[in-house]
Amino acid sequence: MFRFEGIDGRSIETEGLSAEKILEKLRIQKGAIAVKLNGKNLDLAAIPQEGGLIQSITAESAEGLNILRHSTAHLMAQAVENLFPGARFGIGPSIEDGFYYDMDVPEKISEEDLPKIENEMRKLSKQAIPVERVEMSKAKAIDLFRERNDRYKVELIEEIEDDQVSLYKQGNYLDLCRGPHVKNTSWIRHFKLLSVAGAYWRGNENNVMLTRIYGTSFPDPESLDQYLTRIEEARKRDHRKIGKELDLFSIQPEGPGFPFFHPKGMVVLNELIDFWRKAHVKAGYSEIKTPLILDRSLWIRSGHWDHYRENMYFTEIDANTYAIKPMNCPGGILVYKSQIRSYRDLPLRMAELGMVHRHEKSGVLHGLMRVRCFTQDDAHIYCTPDQVTEEIIGIINLSRYIYESVFGFDYHVELSTRPENAMGDIEMWNKAEASLEDALKRSGIEYRLNPGDGAFYGPKIDFHLKDCIGRTWQCGTCQLDFQMPERFDMNYVGRDGELHRPVMLHRTILGSLERFFGILIEHFAGAFPCWIAPVQVKILPVTEKAFNYCEELNSLLRSSDFRTDIDLRDEKLGKKIRDAQIEKIPYMVIIGDKEMENGTLSIRERSKGDLGTMSIDAFLETLEKEYDPMKD
């Protein structure tokens, strides 16, 4: 007999019952899609071989949603196998917001095929096909999939260290999987296939290209509808689409992953940079600039040669190997080491808008969000051990000001700890992680733990911004580093006249200017706040007689440092207004005979519409009242 206890304190003693029956006896079965027994997830049909704490996993929970989505990936694979005989399957995991499955199909699958696959999935769902777990020896499983001519599953099974493996069977479909899964296919009803892409097997560009189908699944139709609405809104806000419409930037075939910024895009970037510089001067930072190309020996010393070489670009100068920098920190360290530092110099806050290059595979490039060349708003802080916590708090406060007060973003914070490829000893890592955690707690900021996701040289705090349609973007980061000061023999002269190691903090707030620009485009749907808009005021003459008056007004506004433009086209006023709205111009000034006669302006605001008639002085006052962080 085994004793099972629910989280509400109820308990029973039984043996040989399925996990589902145990939940029923404990009266906690409502909404269960799977169970958790002593921290391990099991199918509802599983017969526990031990007692302990048992909990229901509902489809609404994060774990339950992953189970539902992974089960939907299996249902999709079964539908594909029915429709495209001879299809073979790679991996099909659940991911954030959905799932995908990589497959090798005998004929090309396009997005036009997705409705057909969805219909087959619905047929299979209505049949309530049982989903059964099958355990067998590794050798037998290899033989089974060889008989099915499925080399991808054979390859995966051969890498499994255990002698036993688990498979899942639903009708004629069989898949290698750890589980758990839903009880039968009728539990999968609210799904949508979203797109088709190519993906190399195991992510290796030297392997065969497979077909990847993306989809999503939810426990109820309302959640699915909300998600699809959000996806449609995201399509409308796609920064690549808006960037082209507003003539902000482009990606040219001659430079894949290397963005070209057009005049209006440069206005946005320069406004961002000007604000960034002002905010950092106020926060006590000085600015440096380090070379784009540095000798191979530097990257060996920093550890990038061993830990990051596959993402770097190289060149040869005078028969010596140089690297185009993927990160700014080694160059910043050389600036620190260029002179003797005293404890009186610390904390030393050095900021750099440094352009870096990283080799990204072509399949992951995505507009401004994933590029091969970008400008990091880096800063490196060198401080004494007893200054660490206060410096981290300062970084948190500056980040909060920029995210909340300036751009109005919601965000959450994650603390990422020691990864598998970490440099240095565990004691130093524990000390670093404790310092970050202490700073977060003293700042009163809530955070999530992200185990094993730190940088190879130190743990980090990451800021994830939430945009207006609920998506999250990882932007700012603060990394505490005890390793680089050791590797580069960095010192400062302490109060005792002896040499001591400084602590190094790496941090970004915007992350990269390019990616942050892309996030702003999508967050605001191209309707930038007035202070950062490429054109703040569009002047619209009604007739040709108003051209001179408009030119005078344009000169006056520009002399007051506002970015203006005049629409001198021979078009009707209605079209000029519509075009200015499409261009997301914050303010439109309409000048006709009446306005010239009275010395007034007719004003429209892009979201509020007609603001009525104003004097020139009143309009200037209106513009001055627009929020501008440069005036803070």
Tens of pLDDT along 233-246? 989 999 999 999 99
Residue 228's closest CA among 205, 202, 196, 195?
A: 195
Report pLDDT digits (tens) over 487-503: 999 999 999 999 999 99
User: To which H or E segment does residue 352 belong?
Assistant: strand 348-357
Mean pLDDT calculated for residue range 169-193: 95
Q: How confident is the model at residue 65 (pLDDT cuts 50, 70, 90)?
A: very high
What type of residue sits at position 623? L
Query: Cα–Cα distance between 135 and 28 in angstroms, integer?
Result: 28
On the CB side of 593, CA atoms within 13 Å amount to 1
What phi and psi values does residue 415 have, to the nearest 5 degrees? -105, 115
Nearest alpha carbon to residue 54 among 83, 25, 78, 79: 25
Q: Which helix (H) or strand (E) holds 146?
A: helix 138-147
**552/189 Cα distance (integer angstroms):** 64
Question: Where residue 306 falls among pLDDT bands split at 50, 70, 90?
Answer: confident
d(C-alpha 312, C-alpha 360), whole Å: 9
For 267-342, where are the E strands, in sequence order?
A: 286-287, 293-295, 313-317, 320-324
Gap between the Cα atoms of 243 and 240, Å rounded? 5
Type of residue found at 319: A
* Bond from prior residue into 259 cis (ω within 30 degrees of 0): no
At 196-217, the pLDDT tens digits run 998 889 888 789 999 999 999 9
Cα-based torsion angle of the residue sequence 345, 348, 354, 357 in order, rounded to the nearest 10 degrees: 110
Task: Determine the Cα–Cα distance for residues 27 and 333; give it in Å rounded to an integer.
Answer: 62
CB burial of residue 598 (10 Å; 0-12, 13-18, 19+): exposed
Q: How many CB atoms lie within 10 A of CB 155?
A: 14
Per-residue pLDDT at 433: 87
Nearest of 622, 575, 628, 626 to residue 603 by alpha carbon:
622
| pLDDT at 469 (0 to 100) | 78
Measure the CA–CA gap between 352 and 376, rounded to whole angstroms.
Answer: 8
The residue type at 547: F
- What's the average model confidence in pLDDT over 501-513? 94
pLDDT of residue 630: 85
Q: What is the pLDDT of residue 27?
A: 86
Name the average pLDDT for the chain: 93
- SS3 assignment, position 223: helix
Mean pLDDT for 123-148 is 94
What is the reported pLDDT for 252? 94
Q: What are the E-state strand segments in 7-141?
A: 11-14, 32-37, 40-42, 52-58, 88-89, 94-95, 98-104, 132-137
Q: Which among 153, 176, 152 is positioned nearest to 165, based on CA atoms?
A: 176
Structural domains of the chain in order of their starting residue, each with its CATH number? 2-58 (3.10.20.30), 65-229 (3.30.980.10), 249-291+326-524 (3.30.930.10), 530-631 (3.40.50.800)
| Identity of the amino acid at 419 | P
The arithmetic mean of pLDDT across residues 612-624, rounded, is 95
Helix residue spans in 337-450 (DSSP H): 388-400, 426-443
Task: Provide the pLDDT for residue 277.
Answer: 96
Quote the pLDDT of residue 458: 81
Q: Which of 88-97, 140-149, 333-342 tops mean pLDDT?
A: 333-342
Q: Which residues contact 574 (CB under 8 A, 6 or more apart)?
A: none
Q: Tokens for 105?
A: 């199909």
**DSSP SS3 for 615:** strand
Of the candidates 198, 199, 227, the one whose C-alpha atom is nearest the C-alpha of residue 98 is 227
**Token pair in block for residue 118:** 């969805």
> What is the pLDDT, as a whole number, of residue 58?
93
Q: What percentage of the chain carries pLDDT values higher than 90?
A: 75
| Residue 586, preceding peptide bond in cis (omega within 30° of 0) | no
Catalytic site residues? Answer: 329, 358, 376, 378, 380, 460, 506
pLDDT at 632 over 80: no
pLDDT at 364: 82
CA distance 88 to 523: 40
Helices (H) and strands (E) in the chain, counts: 19, 33
- What are 216-225's pLDDT values in tens digits? 999 999 999 9
Sequence-distant (≥ 6) Cβ neighbours of residue 239 within 8 angstroms:
367, 368, 369, 517, 518, 519, 521, 522
Query: Is residue 422 helix, strand or coil?
Result: coil
Q: Which amino acid, residue 256?
A: P
For residue range 576-606, list pLDDT tens digits in order.
999 999 999 999 999 999 999 999 999 999 9
**Which residue type, as a one-letter code, is found at position 235?**
R
Task: Determine which of 141-145, 278-282, 455-459, 548-552 has the lowest per-residue pLDDT on average.
Answer: 455-459
In percent, the amount of the chain with pLDDT more than 70 equals 100
What residue type is assigned to position 62 of the chain? A
Decide if pLDDT at 421 tops 80: no
d(CA 62, CA 68) in angstroms, rounded, equals 10
For 245-277, the pLDDT digits (tens) are 999 999 999 999 999 999 999 999 999 999 999
The rounded Cα 241 to chain-centroid distance in angstroms is 19
Instruction: For Cα atoms 181, 183, 186, give the angle at the middle one, nearest 5 degrees.
Output: 110
Which residues of 467-586 form beta strands (DSSP E)? 472-481, 492-493, 499-500, 503-512, 537-541, 564-566
Which stretches within 198-249 are classed as H helix?
221-236, 239-245
Look at residue 426 and tell me whether its pLDDT is greater than 90. Answer: no
Give the model's pLDDT for residue 169.
95
Q: How far apart are CA 309 and CA 51, in angstroms?
A: 49
Residue with tokens 């380090």: 290
Q: Taking the CB of residue 462, how many other CB atoms lie within 10 A of it? A: 22
In whole angstroms, give the CA distance from residue 20 to residue 54: 11
Q: Rounded distance, CA 70 to CA 42, Å?
A: 14
- Nearest CA to 50 among 39, 63, 60, 65? 39
Quote the CA–CA distance of 605 and 577 in Å, as a whole number.
Answer: 11
**Whole-number pLDDT of residue 347:** 97
Establish how many alpha carbons lie within 13 A of residue 473's alpha carbon, considering only the half-sphere containing its beta carbon.
24
User: How would you classify the pairing of strands 537-541 and 587-591?
Assistant: parallel
Contact 37, 53 (CB under 8 A): yes
* Half-sphere exposure for 584 (CA within 13 Å, toward CB): 19
| Residue-level pLDDT at 67 | 96
